[in-house]
Amino acid sequence: MEIFLYADTWIALLTLTFLEVVLGIDNIIFISISANKLPKNQVKKATLIGLALAMVTRILLLFSVSYLIALKDPFYSVDIGWFKTGLTGQSIILFLGGIFLLYKSTKEIRHKVDDEKEKEILKKPKVVSFTSVLIQIILIDIVFSFDSILTAVGMTNGIEGALIIMIIAVIVSIIIMMLFANPINDFVHRNPTIQMLALSFLILIGFMLIAEGAHLSHTEFFNKTVGVIPKGYLYFAIAFSLGVELLNLKSRNKNAA
């Protein structure tokens, strides 16, 4: 595994694993809400099965998305003078993925602010069938897997061994969530700014995916080619913001003591 001899690989893996864990909090919350409709002796079992299904779903999606991103040959060109582009399967997936992340992130931030999403789900009638709950969990996993996978693609696109890095990050993050589901949930509830920070990172990654898609399709605006955003800038922004937030958490805890 020569890819693990490079610092970029480890930075991408650690950053992506952190984001996968934090962004998986919503998944844990929704799985918990569904699992809590069952008798108490089945809740833990349903939660663990739900997270295992999330891991399988994300790995399968990783393979399918990675295949689509490999389609680099243009199949349609547009030239209207001031705007030129050559559409490829790769550029379309990245562009649509970026749009999806921007939409999903802003929507989730809005829900976090007014806290309506969880209230609507809690108002739904109880389901006592274990199979019905598992079906709900599978559907939840599919929905939440999209932003997870697109985040992974955005963080590792262009890095050697990207698929291996993404799969390892997904597996490690799910194992962490299985082991520490309740403590992680409690930590984020006590410090909601951590999740808000991760959703803000998603907005950055969404813009990066859009720019990457435009760059790979050789898009030009007024004879100016769209450039690629260096991932080092993104890593620095994430690390700096996270460092500031950890200092804020430490300061708040110290003042509360």
Residue 127 confidence (pLDDT): 46
Please compute the mean of the pLDDT values over residues 110-122 and round it to a whole number.
59
Range with the poorest average pLDDT among 68-72, 82-86, 152-156? 68-72
Residue 206 confidence (pLDDT): 81
- In the chain, what is the greatest distance between 2 CA atoms, to the nearest angstrom? 66
pLDDT digits (tens, 9 = 90+) for 86-108: 888 778 877 887 888 788 778 77
Contact indicator for 147, 59 with CB cutoff of 8 Å = no
pLDDT digits (tens, 9 = 90+) for 206-251: 888 888 888 878 888 888 888 777 777 777 887 788 788 888 888 8
Q: Which residue has the tokens 């897997």?
A: 145
Residue 47 confidence (pLDDT): 78
Taking CA atoms, 63 is separated from 56, 98, 165, in Å, by: 11, 18, 12
For residue 26, which of 156, 130, 121 has the smallest C-alpha distance? 121
Please compute the mean of the pLDDT values over residues 68-90 and round it to a whole number.
79
Which one has a higher pLDDT value, 6 or 173?
A: 173
Residue 128 has pLDDT above 60, yes or no: no
Which one has a higher pLDDT value, 106 or 71?
A: 106
Residue 121 confidence (pLDDT): 47
* Cα–Cα–Cα angle for 125, 139, 157, rounded to 5 degrees: 145
For residue 65, which of 201, 160, 174, 162 has the smallest C-alpha distance? 162
Which one has a higher pLDDT value, 144 or 103?
A: 103
Cα–Cα distance, 154 to 147 (Å, whole number): 10
Residue 188 confidence (pLDDT): 65
pLDDT digits (tens, 9 = 90+) for 188-202: 667 777 777 877 877
Residue 3 has pLDDT above 60, yes or no: yes
Range with the poorest average pLDDT among 144-158, 169-183, 197-211? 144-158
**Percent of the chain scoring above 70 in pLDDT:** 81
* pLDDT classification of 125: cutoffs 50, 70, 90: very low
Which one has a higher pLDDT value, 96 or 256?
A: 96
Residue 257 confidence (pLDDT): 63
Strand extents, DSSP E, the chain: 76-79, 83-87, 220-221, 224-225
